Structure 1
Amino acid sequence: MSADSPRTWLDKLTHLFSGEQVDHLTQLTEILNASKEKNLIDADAVFMIEGVLGVSEMRVRDAMIPRSQMVCVDESEDLQSILDELLESSHSRYPVLADDGSVKGVLLTKDVLRAVVKHNLSEKAQLEELYRPPVLVPESKRLNVLLREFKASRNHMALVVDEYGELAGLITIEDVLEEIVGDIVDEHDDEESDHIQKHFQGGYSVDAVTFLEDFNAFFKTDIQNEQLETIGGVVTQFLGHIPAEGETFEMEGLSFEVLKSDGRRVDSFKVQFALMTEISA
C-alpha cells in the first residue's frame, strides 16, 4: 500500500493502539461508526462496543440508584410489615437500615422465603439472623472494575458510600450491564407500574418515563404536547437541554428537582407544588 493510499479501518485501529494517538476513545468511536456506515460491523455490535468503552470511563456514581430511590427494610418495623414490603416490591435484595440511617445488613428474599417455608420465621430476631454483611464500594470506583469484582465475588449488589462514608445509594450488576446493552426488562418490570411515589423528603419521586396523561391526572395539571408523550421529554424541551442531576426549576406551578441524570438522559425528578400544597392520596 502506497503512502497516499487511504488506510483501512483495521489499519486505523492498529495505529490507534500504537501509542501515537492522544484521544484513543474518541478516535476508536469514530472508527467504529465509520465501519458501521460501510457495513463492516452491524449497528448492534457498535452499540455494545461503545457501551463497553463507556463503562471503562464511568464511575459508580454515574450508574447507581441514589439513596432517595432505594427500597430498603426499616429495622424498626415489625416482622409482618417487613414481610409485606418484601412481597409488594418484589426485589431480590434489600438493604436493612437502622433509625439513624446506618446499614445493618442486606436481606435476601430467597433467605426469607426459605425460612418462611420451613416455618422458621415467626419472630423478629429470627429475621435478623438472616442479615448478610453488606458490600460497600466508593462512588469513585470505575464501573469496569466493579463488574470484575461482581463476577469474582458472585455478589450482585453493592452499597455505595460517599467520601464521608455515608450511604449514597446502591448499585447492582444489572445497573452496570444496562450501561452496555441498554435497559433490561424482567418479569417484574410492569410497564404500567406506578411511576409516581411519595418521596421521603416531601413531594413525589416521578420517573421521567411517566406518561403525560398519568402525570396530569396525578398533579391536576394540563400539560399538552402533540410531539411528546412523557414528562421527561416535556421537561427537556421546556429547558432546551437535558437537565443535570440536582438542577431545579419550576414548570406549570410545580417545583422540579432532578434526582438522577447521566447527561444523556434524565431518569427521575422530585416534584412538589411550588406553594407546598399536598395532594390527598
Structure 2
Amino acid sequence: MASQPDNGSRLWRGMRALIFGDDHETTLRDQIEEAIDEAETQRPVRGDLSPHERQMLRNLLHFGDRTAGEVAVTRGEIVAVPETIGFDALVTALAEAGHSRLPVYGESLDEVTGMVLVKDVFAAMQGPPEGRSVKALVREPLFVPESMGVLDLLARMRAQRVHLAIVVDEFGGTEGLITIEDIVEEIVGEIEDEHDEAGAQLLVALDDGLWEADARVELEELAQAVDPRFEDEEDEVDTLGGLAFLLAGHILEPGEDVCHPSGWRIECVAADRTKMTRLRLHAPGEAPVPA
C-alpha cells in the first residue's frame, strides 16, 4: 500500500528551496502560501503554527524579493553628526538619539565619512581627556547600493561584522540607512525597544477632521485611513516624516507646516535637531491658524 504524502516534509522542502535556491522557486512559494491559506480557514489544531508564526512565514516567503532601498530608514529620518562635532556634543547626540551607532558626515549627508559606536565613546570616556578624539573614534562605514537584495546584504553584514550600512543611490548620494534590526523586522515585525515611546499610537484621529501621527507612520497606512492620495508618493518615500521632508526640503520645526498636492496641510508638532517626531494633518480647505 502506497504511503500518504507527508505535508510537513513537503512544506519543509519548500522552505529549504526558497532559502537555498531552487529552479521552481515561484511554484514552491505558491504552494506554501496556499498551505498557509488553507490552515487559516481550518479549525485550530494543537501544536500547529500560531497566527504570528504563519505571518512570519508569509514574510519570509517574500523576504528575498526585498531590496536595501525598500527596507532602509529613509534619508529624512537619518540621525547623523558632522565630523566637526566635539566629544561632549557627540555624547549628547548619542544620548538624545537613543541609537548605538551614528553616521558621521562631512559637508552634507551625501558625504558620509564614517560612523561612531556608543561602546567606543564609553571606552574613551573612561580614558584620559586627551584621548577623547572624535576623529579617532570614527569607523569606516559600509556602503551598499539601494538595489542590493536583503539576503545578499545580510550575508555581507554578517561577513564584515557590521550592524549598520549606508544605502546609496546610483549617483553615490545617501538614500537611507539600514541596520540588521531593520532586516530582521521584515520577518518578525516591528521590534520595540526601550527608546520607543510605550503606548504611543502612530496615527490618531482628532476632532474637526484633524489627524495626529508619528513621523514613522507608513504612507500605505495613511492612505488607507486618511486619504488614498498619500500613497501616490510611496515610490519616493515610505513614511509621513519622509514625505514632509521631501515637500519642505528640510526638517520642519514645531509649528511650521507644508502643503501636500492633495490639499492636506502637514504641520510639525514635535521635532529635535535631527528629525521630526510628531506631525498633524489638516484637511484640505482648512484655513491655517495665524501664528
Could you tell me the TM-score, scaled by structure 1's length?
Answer: 0.68
Query: How far has the Cα of 1:174 moved from its partner?
Result: 0.3
Alpha-carbon deviations, 1:76-112, whole Å to 9, x = none? 3444333321221121001001124311111111111
Alpha-carbon deviations, 1:215-252, whole Å to 9, x = none? x8xxxxx4268xxx858656423324872244874567
* Residue ranges of structure 1 left out of the alignment (5+ in a row): 194-207, 217-221, 257-267
Cα 1:15–1:173 change in 2 (3 A) is closer
Check whether the contact 1:9–1:35 (CA below 8 A) recurs between aligned residues: no
User: Which has the higher mean CA deviation after the structures are superposed, 67-76 or 10-19?
Assistant: 10-19
Could you tell me the TM-score, scaled by structure 2's length?
Answer: 0.66
Query: How far has the Cα of 1:19 moved from its partner?
Result: 6.0
Please, which of 146, 153, 159 is the counterpart of residue 152 of structure 1?
159
Query: How far has the Cα of 1:57 moved from its partner?
Result: 1.4
How far, CA to CA, are the matches of 1:230 and 1:168 in structure 2? 23
Other-structure match for 2:202? 209
Alpha-carbon deviations, 1:180-200, whole Å to 9, x = none? 10111111222367xxxxxxx
* Residue ranges of structure 2 left out of the alignment (5+ in a row): 238-242, 244-259, 268-276
The alignment yields a C-alpha RMSD, in angstroms, of: 4.0
How far, CA to CA, are the matches of 2:189 and 2:102 in structure 1? 24
Please, which of 46, 58, 67 is the counterpart of residue 50 of structure 1?
58
Cα 1:107–1:33 change in 2 (3 A) is same
Please, which of 114, 121, 127 is the counterpart of residue 123 of structure 2?
114
Query: How far has the Cα of 1:148 moved from its partner?
Result: 2.3
Other-structure match for 2:39? 35
Query: How far has the Cα of 1:14 moved from its partner?
Result: 8.5
SS class of match (2:226): helix
How far, CA to CA, are the matches of 2:265 and 2:120 in structure 1? 43
SS class of match (2:104): strand
SS class of match (1:129): helix
How far, CA to CA, are the matches of 2:290 and 2:138 in structure 1? 37
How far, CA to CA, are the matches of 2:101 and 2:86 in structure 1? 18
Check whether the contact 1:74–1:82 (CA below 8 A) recurs between aligned residues: no
What does 1:190-209 correspond to in 2, within 5 Å? 190-191=197-198, 209=202
Cα 1:144–1:270 change in 2 (3 A) is farther
Other-structure match for 1:198? none
Letter of the 1:236 partner, please give it.
Answer: Q
Cα 1:118–1:237 change in 2 (3 A) is same
How far, CA to CA, are the matches of 2:28 and 2:135 in structure 1? 50
Please, which of 27, 30, 42 is the counterpart of residue 26 of structure 1?
30
Other-structure match for 1:169? 176
SS class of match (1:81): helix
Other-structure match for 1:254? 265
Paired residues in the alignment total 241
